[in-house]
Amino acid sequence: MSTLSDLIQAQGLLNDLDIEWLHRLAGDGQLLADLASADIVTWVATADGTFIAVAHSRPSGPATLFYRDIVGERVRPQWRTQVQAAFESGEIVDSSSPDWFEETPTRVRAVPIVRGSGASRAVVGVLTRHTNLGEARMPSRQQMSFDECANDLFRMIASGEFPDLAAPTAPRRGAPRASDGLIRIDVDGITTFASPNALSAFNRMGFDDELEGESLAEVITRILPPSRQVDETLPVVVTGRAPWRTDMEARGVTVSLRAIPLKDHGTRIGAIVLCRDVSELRHQEQELITKDATIREIHHRVKNNLQTVASLLRIQARRTHSEEARDALTQAMRRVEAIAVVHDTLASGLSQTVDFDEVFDRVLKLVAEVAAAPSTRARTERAGRFGVLPSEYATPLSLALTEVVTNAVEHGLAGQEGVVRIEATRTDETLRVTVTDTGHGLPEGRVGQGLGTQIVRTLIQGELGGTIEWKGAEGEGTQVTIEIPLRWIKA
């Protein structure tokens, strides 16, 4: 299924600002559908003079009219005249008689989607409201209030006053919806309607009276404990003066609030305040934050401990008189430091993934001590990108590459000048790493059986489920190719 942007850009009639406007409106499509108790469809003009549906929202409560997705379809003949009239006139056009859709009586309203005002005013699309009359019954007071709010928003859409570009674009988890709780206030901030769910949310925070007829700002002032620090956006939200979101907390209950100012030709006439009890969601978020902090602290301590071990190995290597023991201790020190680099990176982030390009750049510095040997003049080059990897991949891979690159410098380029090139190629399925040196090559074309080679095989084949291959002949350099499957990484 094509996205809204794809469908609009395929027509080539709207610019980026128009597309952003339609994206903002589509983001509130569910709110409009729930308030209107109807299907909401967004149409844009096509190059051949008709209209195509680019967005569709179904109501949460009443039955939808469109059981199959209508996005991507051309406007049906019975709606085209009405949609065309709204698009050309810039005025709301209601159907003069019930429209029948698959044997269901419906009422259709076509609302021009206007962006800008004055000389810059432009109709960028049409929104249609499809109300199912087959389920019509005596509306409740809540339904009538919701419908009134929907009509106010439709009028604002037709005058270019909704959506509001000042509103936050990325709602927090648990953003309030109409069904969660709705409060309507007038221009003075007095509550004229409060849905049962909204009243319940305020009751849980300690307000035991009726909200209607009360100043919402004064109610919240009485609810909030005097000692609690208040979000500076709260007064703006509860008075309906700006399209903003905030949270308030009292008696252990957290309620998320969203204000939608209502205007009539630029004059503020009141506001809709959506509210939702998000106590459990915020509690879960706090638990996750605490767990993240604990995990980061663990990684930080592991890194410190590993660095301590590496320091002890370095001291021991300096004090030993056996050249063989000194080399073994130095190699062990580098292996420990390679693992410490990954834990250090994990300790500074919020997730258990690392940018392995950053990790590997730090790992390469560990090879500098080997490359700095008096008889060896080695230079490393890196190409391609490793990308982001989870910690369970990053730790063994960093250790394995440390072994391979160190071996290329220490043995492949021993006593000469040369280059070690590391190239990473990543697809959705695999990560391929090639390490090539211009050194001595493999004696007799055979791979050694030392501890480093055994470690690399164990890490790549055993822990990562990958493959490793050595190529090269004596005097022609060596190429090591590592290929790791990424199918187990969650997108």
Query: What's the pLDDT tens digit per position in 360-398?
Result: 888 777 765 655 556 667 778 888 998 888 878 888 888
139 φ, ψ (degrees, to nearest 5): -70, 145
For the domain 178-277, what is the CATH superfamily, name and number? PAS domain (3.30.450.20)
List, for residues 173-206, the tens digit of each pLDDT value. Answer: 678 999 999 999 999 999 999 999 999 999 999 9
Q: Quick check: 101 pLDDT over 80? A: no
Q: How far is CA 195 from CA 137, 143, 355, 406, in A?
A: 19, 10, 48, 69
pLDDT band at 336 (very low <50, low <70, confident <90, very high): confident
| Helix, strand, or coil (residue 114) | strand
Give residue 301's identity as a one-letter amino acid code: R
In the chain, domain spans: 4-158, 178-277, 280-351, 352-491
Residue % of the chain over a pLDDT of 70: 90
Q: Write down the residue that tokens 């459990």 correspond to.
A: 280
> Beta 104-115 vs 245-250: how paired, if at all?
unpaired
pLDDT digits (tens, 9 = 90+) for 103-123: 788 899 999 999 998 888 999
pLDDT > 60? residue 408? yes
Q: What is the DSSP letter of 444?
A: G
Helix, coil or strand: residue 17: helix
Domain 352-491 has CATH 3.40.50.2300: no
Alpha helices in 320-383 (DSSP H): 323-347, 356-366, 368-371
What integer pLDDT is reported at residue 473 of this predicted model? 65
CA atoms of 275 and 205, how far apart (whole Å) = 12
What are the b/e assignments for 451-482, b being 16+ CB within 10 Å?
ebbebbeebbeebbebebebbbeeeebbbbeb
CA angle 217, 219, 222 (to 5 degrees): 110
Cα–Cα dist 152/268, whole Å: 11
CATH architecture of 4-158: 2-Layer Sandwich (3.30)
Nearest to 71 by CA among 131, 22, 139: 22
Highest mean pLDDT among 34-38, 294-298, 319-323, 410-414 belongs to 34-38
What pLDDT score was predicted for residue 297?
75
Task: Among 72-86, 98-112, 236-250, 349-363, name the one with the lowest average pLDDT.
Answer: 349-363
| Domains 178-277 and 352-491 are alike in CATH topology | no
**Which of 257, 34, 24 is closest to 150 using CA atoms?**
34
